[in-house]
Chain A
C-alpha cells in the first residue's frame, strides 16, 4: 500500500497532521494503537496563549468549536489554573469568582466527580455553595456492577436523559446564579451540553471528572470523523512493528495487522506520544524510541531521571526524541530525510513549540507544512 504520508500515532498530533495533509490533497494513513492522551484531556490548551486563526479553523471544520478567552479554568478538584483556549463547553473565567452563589450537582453514587472538593474550592473564592445529589433511577443500571459508574458510561445514558437532568436541576435551583455539573455530556458532539446550558436558568459550568474525559473522547471522535471524511485511512488498533530505512530515507513500515503488506510513503510522521503511549520506552539503563531507534535526549545516570518530590517537575518527562530545525528525526546524529516528529514523543527537546496539547497541535501543523513545501 502506497501513500503520500504515513502517520504513526493517532492521537491529537497525528490526527491534525493527517487532516492538514488530506486538506492539501495528500493521501495519508494513520496507524493508531487506540489509546492516546485525549482520553485524559482537561479541555484546555494550556500552552496556547495566542488566538491562532488557523488552529481555530482546523478544529472548527471538524465540529470542535474552541473559544479564546485568557483567564482561569476550574479544575476538577476545585482549584483555578490559567488558560486561554478551550473547548466550547469548558469555561474560562476572567477571575476565579465567577458567580455569587453556586449549586454543585452530582449523581448519587458517582465517585469520579469531586463535588465536595469543588464546593470547598469555590467557597475559598468567596462563592457560597450548595452540593446536591441527583438520584436517577436510570443510572441504577450502571450501579449494578460497581465499577461501571464511570464518565463514559454515564455520558452514553445522558444522550437520552439530559432533559431529565435539566428538569431536576431546575427544581433544585434556588437563587444560585451558577450551576456546576460533571463533564459527562456529549460523547459525539457538543449539542447536549449546549442544550443543557439553554435549559437551565443559571450559568452552567461543566467541571472535569476522573478520566476518561468525555470532552476529550468527543474531540477524538470528531477529528477522526473529519479525517475520514477527507479520505484519510485510519488503521485502528494496529501498531508499527518494523521500519525499513535505507541511507537516511524511510521507505516503508510494517504493522502487526498487515505484516506482509508494507505501508510505503514519501514521508512519515512519528507522533507516538510519551511513555504512557509507548512512544518512549524505558528500561533501567536507557530511554529508547522503539520504532526507528531514534536518538533520544535523556540522562544516562538514572538517579537524574526523577525528583524525589512528587509535586516537583520530573526530569524524565522532559526526555524525548531529538529533531532538527525542520522537525526531522535524528538517528545517530543525522536527520532522516523524510521522517518528522510531532507531539509528546519530542518531550521537552523543542520547548519553542509549547507542551502537551499545544505542542501536539503546533508541531503537527509545522511538520505537515514542511512536507507540503517539499512537493
Chain B
C-alpha cells in the first residue's frame, strides 16, 4: 500500500472536517485531513462559542431547533471538557413584546427543549449582571463550548485511530480520471513540497471556501457569505448565557467563555473576495456595545479585549437558482447523483452545534460509496479528554493537590492533562500569566497537537488570549517554539505575525485600557526588545 493512499481524504480543518475525520476513523477507514492553514481558522473559531439549546431557532426553524437540542445533549456527554454547562436566559425587556414569550416557550417545548418561565427576580439572582429592568425571563439549557478545544480533540482522536493530518497544506487541484475524483494535488506552504494524495472518496468540508473547492473539482455549489461581527470583553461578566426573547436579531446573545464573555453578532452579506480578510467596522462595534449593554448594562463600562468576525457558510437550496431560499440547515451533496462526478462529496451549511451530525451524515455517505457497513458511534464514545466530567476531579486525580494553573490546564485538556510533563519547576513555570499556561502544557501542545506557529499555539492552549493579549507571553512562547522547531529565524517572523494578528483584533476597539495596553506592547516590542 502506498503511503499516499487513503480510503478517504477530507479537505478542511474546521470542526466539520475534523469531526468527519474522527467519524470515518472510528468506522475503520484510513483517513487524511488536509487544511491550508491551521485547524479552526474559519467560522469554527469565529463565533460565540455558544452551546445552543436550540431555543433561538424554536419559533422560526423548528428543524434546526430539534437538531440543536439533540446535539446539545450529546456534546455534554462526549465533549465535557470543551463545554461549560452554564444554562441560558431569554429575557424580555420593557421595549420587547412580552406576548412573544408564550409563543417562544410553546415552540421550545414542541422541539423538545426544556424551557421554563421564571420570575424576573429569580433571573436577577441567577445572573446578577442581567439588565435589572427585565420584565420576563425563560430558562433554557444553553451552555458555552470552546470550539478550538473541540476541534483539536476531534483531530487528536482521529490521529489516535490512525488518521493522518496535513496542516499548512493547500489543495491546489484534483486528480480526475474521466468522471471520477481519484485524489488531490497539494502544496505545503511551510516546506514548499508538492504532494499528490489518492483516495476513492474526497470530502469537501471547507465551509464558505467550499464553493471554491467545488469549482476546483468542476462542480457548482452556490454559497452566500454572511459576515458576523463579535466583541470579546476582558471579564466574565455573566455566568449564564443571556439572550433576548424576541425574533433573532443583531447583538442579542452574550456568552460567557473561560475568563471572558462574548457579545454578538451582526449579519452582513459580503462579497467572496472579503472572506479571507473580514474586518470589523466602527459601526458594528458601536452596535454591538449598544445592544450588548441592554443585556448586561455593565458591558458599557467593561474593557473590550478584541473585535473579530467570521463568515457563515450559508448555502442556497439546491433547486433554487435565485439564491433566495437560503438555509442554515445541513447540506450534504453527493456530486455523483447531483452532477455525475464520482468520488466527491460536499458537506456544508449547518453550524458548530451540529458538526457531529454533519460528520455523521457525511461519513454515512462516504461509507455508502465505499460499501462499508459500520454504524456511527460518535454520539456515544467520548472525545479524548472528556472521559471525566469535572475538571476539578481530573486535576485532583493527576496532581492530588492541584495548583490553580494545574486546574486551568485540566479545564483546557480534560483527562489529557495527564500527558503534560509536570511536577518539576522547569515544566511548571508559567509562560502565559493571564491564562496560566505552563511550559509543560506548551511543549505538550507543540509535540502532540500539530503546532507550527504562535497563533496555532494560541488556539490549542489560550496563550496570548488573556488581558495582555500576548504582550509578555508571545516572546517566551516563541523561544520554546524556536527550540522545538530548531529555527530561530522562522520564529522571528512568526512573532511579528502573531503581534499583527493580535493588533488586528485590538485596533477596532482601540481606546481606554485597550489603547494603554497597545501602546505598551508597541513600545516594548519596537523600542525595548527591538523586533
Interface residue stretch chosen among A74-82, A248-256, A264-272: A74-82
Nearest A residue to B439 via CB reads: A111
B137 to chain A, nearest CB (A): 31
A114–B528 CB distance below 8 A: no
Q: Which chain B residues border A274 with CB–CB below 8 Å?
A: 519
Count CB-based A-B contacts (< 8 Å).
130
B519–A276 CB distance below 8 A: yes
A186 to chain B, nearest CB (A): 18
Contact A42 to B425, CB < 8 A, known contacts A210-B475, A306-B510, A316-B510: no
Give complex CA distance A147, B504 in Å: 28
A369 to chain B, nearest CB (A): 27
A76–B515 CB distance below 8 A: no
Give complex CA distance A54, B39 in Å: 59
Contact A308 to B431, CB < 8 A, known contacts A42-B527, A75-B529, A76-B530: no
B423 to chain A, nearest CB (A): 12
Contact A302 to B479, CB < 8 A, known contacts A40-B523, A146-B429: no
A320 to chain B, nearest CB (A): 12
Q: Which chain A residues border B433 with CB–CB below 8 Å?
A: 147
Q: Which of B480, B482, B500, B516 contacts A310 (CB 8 A)?
A: B500
Q: Which chain A residues border B399 with CB–CB below 8 Å?
A: none
A311–B500 CB distance below 8 A: yes
B221 at the interface (CB under 8 A from A): no
A13-47 interface (Cβ within 8 A of B) = 37, 40-42, 46
Q: Which chain A residues border B282 with CB–CB below 8 Å?
A: 302-303
B431–A42 CB distance below 8 A: no
A127 at the interface (CB under 8 A from B): no
Q: Which of A78, A79, A210, A276 contacts B523 (CB 8 A)?
A: A276
Q: Which chain B residues border A109 with CB–CB below 8 Å?
A: 425-426, 429
B330 to chain A, nearest CB (A): 36
B519 to chain A, nearest CB (A): 4
**B491-531 to A contact mask, C-beta < 8 Å, 1/0:** 11000100110111001001110011011101110111111
Contact A305 to B510, CB < 8 A, known contacts A310-B503, A317-B519: yes
A341 at the interface (CB under 8 A from B): no
B488–A117 CB distance below 8 A: yes
Give complex CA distance A324, B489 in Å: 47
Q: Which of A78, A119, A276, A283 contacts B516 (CB 8 A)?
A: A276
Secondary structure at the B interface, as helix, strand, loop or mixed, is helix
Q: Which chain A residues border B503 with CB–CB below 8 Å?
A: 308-310
Nearest A residue to B520 via CB reads: A276
How many residues of chain A are within 8 Å of chain B by beta carbon? 51
A331 at the interface (CB under 8 A from B): no
Q: Which chain A residues border B439 with CB–CB below 8 Å?
A: 111
Contact A116 to B483, CB < 8 A, known contacts A210-B472, A282-B515: yes
- For the side of the interface on B, what is the size category? 35 or more
B500–A309 CB distance below 8 A: yes
Q: Which chain B residues border A120 with CB–CB below 8 Å?
A: 488-489, 492
Contact A210 to B476, CB < 8 A, known contacts A46-B527, A276-B519: yes
Nearest A residue to B433 via CB reads: A147
Q: Which chain A residues border B511 with CB–CB below 8 Å?
A: 282-284, 302
A275–B530 CB distance below 8 A: no
B31 to chain A, nearest CB (A): 36
Nearest A residue to B281 via CB reads: A303
Q: Which chain B residues border A303 with CB–CB below 8 Å?
A: 282
Q: Which chain B residues border A147 with CB–CB below 8 Å?
A: 430, 433
A213 at the interface (CB under 8 A from B): yes
Best-buried of B433, B488, B512 by chain A (most CB within 10 Å): B488
Q: Which chain B residues border A116 with CB–CB below 8 Å?
A: 479, 482-483, 488
**B425-450 to A contact mask, C-beta < 8 Å, 1/0:** 11011110100001100000000000
B499–A310 CB distance below 8 A: yes
B507–A77 CB distance below 8 A: no
A111–B524 CB distance below 8 A: no
B229 to chain A, nearest CB (A): 16
A241 at the interface (CB under 8 A from B): no
A102 at the interface (CB under 8 A from B): no
B405 at the interface (CB under 8 A from A): yes
A115 to chain B, nearest CB (A): 8
B476–A79 CB distance below 8 A: no
Q: Which chain A residues border B512 with CB–CB below 8 Å?
A: 281-283
A36-79 interface (Cβ within 8 A of B) = 37, 40-42, 46, 75-79
A111–B482 CB distance below 8 A: no
A259 to chain B, nearest CB (A): 24
Best-buried of B405, B428, B489, B507 by chain A (most CB within 10 Å): B507
A236 at the interface (CB under 8 A from B): no
A77–B483 CB distance below 8 A: no
Give complex CA distance A208, B525 in Å: 12
Q: Which chain B residues border A306 with CB–CB below 8 Å?
A: 507, 510
Q: Which of A111, A302, A314 contacts B522 (CB 8 A)?
A: A314
B271-322 interface (Cβ within 8 A of A) = 282, 286
Give complex CA distance A363, B249 in Å: 54
Q: Which chain A residues border B430 with CB–CB below 8 Å?
A: 146-147
**A84-115 to B contact mask, C-beta < 8 Å, 1/0:** 00000000000000000000000011011011
Q: Which of A76, A78, A146, A302 contacts B438 (CB 8 A)?
A: A146
Contact A208 to B488, CB < 8 A, known contacts A274-B519, A311-B500: no
B418 to chain A, nearest CB (A): 19
A229 at the interface (CB under 8 A from B): no
B74-113 interface (Cβ within 8 A of A) = none
Q: Which chain B residues border A281 with CB–CB below 8 Å?
A: 512
A201 at the interface (CB under 8 A from B): no
B519–A275 CB distance below 8 A: yes
Contact A77 to B519, CB < 8 A, known contacts A109-B426, A114-B479: no
A138 at the interface (CB under 8 A from B): no
Q: Which chain B residues border A310 with CB–CB below 8 Å?
A: 496, 499-500, 502-503, 522
Best-buried of A79, A143, A275 by chain B (most CB within 10 Å): A275
Q: Which chain B residues border A78 with CB–CB below 8 Å?
A: 488
B485 to chain A, nearest CB (A): 11
Give complex CA distance A309, B528 in Å: 19
A278 at the interface (CB under 8 A from B): yes
6 smallest beta-carbon distances between A and B, as pairs: A75-B530, A120-B488, A143-B425, A310-B503, A306-B507, A111-B476
Binding site for B on A (CB under 8 A): 37, 40-42, 46, 75-79, 81, 108-109, 111-112, 114-117, 119-120, 140, 143-144, 146-147, 149, 208, 210-211, 213, 274-276, 278, 281-284, 302-303, 305-306, 308-311, 314, 316-317, 356
Can you show 6 pairs from A to B with CB atoms below 8 A apart? A111-B476, A120-B488, A210-B472, A210-B524, A275-B515, A309-B500
Given contacts A77-B475, A117-B491, 13 further A-B contacts (CB under 8 A): A77-B530, A78-B488, A109-B429, A112-B476, A114-B479, A116-B488, A117-B488, A146-B430, A210-B475, A211-B524, A275-B515, A305-B507, A310-B496
